[in-house]
A and B are shown apart, each in its own frame.
Chain A
């Protein structure tokens, strides 16, 4: 596997090529692990930031052409470094706000500012984690619902008794997903209201 040139990695990430992603894990992850561990993070933090960094890179490649004026390794390193700094800042701010909470009401605690890229990625990761842990039929029914597949067809494809049960199932699955996300300890820290 590999080594891949920067251009091949970018192309591979855009095309979701498995071997390129595995190569990234093998070749780039130790770099990010060292960065995070050197800056008061854990291995789990490093894994999260690394995944968020890859998602950020994927979105960047997918949405428009990525032209680099430095090595991809440096570029990716700076993405992860920024994400980690943003997260540290967010955690620090939350600690600060948590202190304020003793005297202030909850409105001061929950920020209303726009989400940072780090927050969006962290939220997406939390959503994915819980979505991925849903029962198989739940995931399917939610994806079909999003794709506007008629409930009758959903019932037929998933072997439900009728379309009413498919509707109920969709509701219950969404509720389950919502509840799990809300209970996730990572979720409240990136919650934001309109």
Chain B
């Protein structure tokens, strides 16, 4: 043992009341003259008292656990929240990327027209003649007379689609030459679509009514024009859209008036 070790041994024994005789006398002299030894002795006594109170040590441990839980509780909650948010955003992004909006929106999940007749074009371009399936949609009362209430309902805008009217998302490749994004025609009129496109793959063309139900659907359009036949279409609002490989290209609105 070196002097320091002896001194601390004495300090411990003094505090335990085990220092006797000459050792005690010598230690007391040191204690009286050296403030550092006094300080060490006091600290040693305090440490002993600290270690002896096991109940209080256990209580301190519980306090630490509670404090850590509080700290980490907040921390973990925040971290978990942030992580969940990031995962959610990533999933949404992934989903939207692989599922174009028109695919996922419930308005586009309506019935598909059962039969769409295609007629050969007598014109030079590769036109397609599209016609609504007969008897669809039923915008009239059971008696066959137009129901004013239903007619009103037929002109209620489809909020979701309204925002897209006039939008062309493939502006670099696709330019719609006619018709305008919103046109008003009469039932039975034909509407001719004409566009210019560079490097476009096959297009799809859909028309939905103002309830989001598909009225016309055609895929694999290769040309640069098509003619839409509206014979037997009820009055109301319709929305058309072009898609390229399931991606929205252009959207417009047709108003069929009396």
- A48-60 to B contact mask, C-beta < 8 Å, 1/0: 0001001100110
Main SS at interface, chain B: helix
Q: B56 contacts A175, CB within 8 Å?
A: no
The 5 lowest CB-CB distance pairs between A and B, nearest first, are A146-B51, A128-B60, A25-B66, A127-B50, A21-B66
A-B pairs with beta carbons under 8 Å apart, 14 shown: A16-B58, A16-B59, A25-B69, A51-B67, A58-B56, A59-B56, A124-B50, A128-B57, A131-B51, A143-B54, A177-B47, A178-B40, A178-B43, A182-B43
CA distance A26 to B67 in the complex (A): 10
B26 contacts partner chain A, Cβ-Cβ < 8 Å: no
CA distance A123 to B46 in the complex (A): 9
Output the nearest chain A residue to B9 by Cβ-Cβ distance.
Answer: A171
A181 contacts partner chain B, Cβ-Cβ < 8 Å: yes
- A123-136 to B contact mask, C-beta < 8 Å, 1/0: 11101100110000
CA distance A25 to B55 in the complex (A): 20
Give the B interface residue count (CB, 8 A). 34
Shortest Cβ gap from A76 to chain B (Å)? 14
A29 contacts partner chain B, Cβ-Cβ < 8 Å: yes
Q: B46 contacts A127, CB within 8 Å?
A: yes
Known A174-B8, A174-B47, A194-B38; contact A29-B56, beta-carbon cutoff 8 A: no
The B-contacting residues of A in range 152-192, CB under 8 angstroms, are 171, 174-175, 177-178, 181-182, 191-192
The A-contacting residues of B in range 70-125, CB under 8 angstroms, are 70
12 other contacts beyond A128-B50, A193-B38, with CB at 8 A cut-off?
A22-B66, A25-B69, A55-B59, A55-B63, A58-B59, A124-B56, A146-B48, A146-B51, A171-B5, A175-B8, A181-B47, A193-B39
A11 contacts partner chain B, Cβ-Cβ < 8 Å: no
Q: A25 contacts B42, CB within 8 Å?
A: no
B62 contacts partner chain A, Cβ-Cβ < 8 Å: yes
Q: Which of B8, B38, B54, B56 contacts A171 (CB 8 A)?
A: B8
Output the nearest chain B residue to A120 by Cβ-Cβ distance.
Answer: B46
Q: A51 contacts B51, CB within 8 Å?
A: no
CA distance A143 to B50 in the complex (A): 10
Q: B42 contacts A193, CB within 8 Å?
A: yes
B47 cross-chain contacts in A, Cβ below 8 A? 127, 174, 177-178, 181
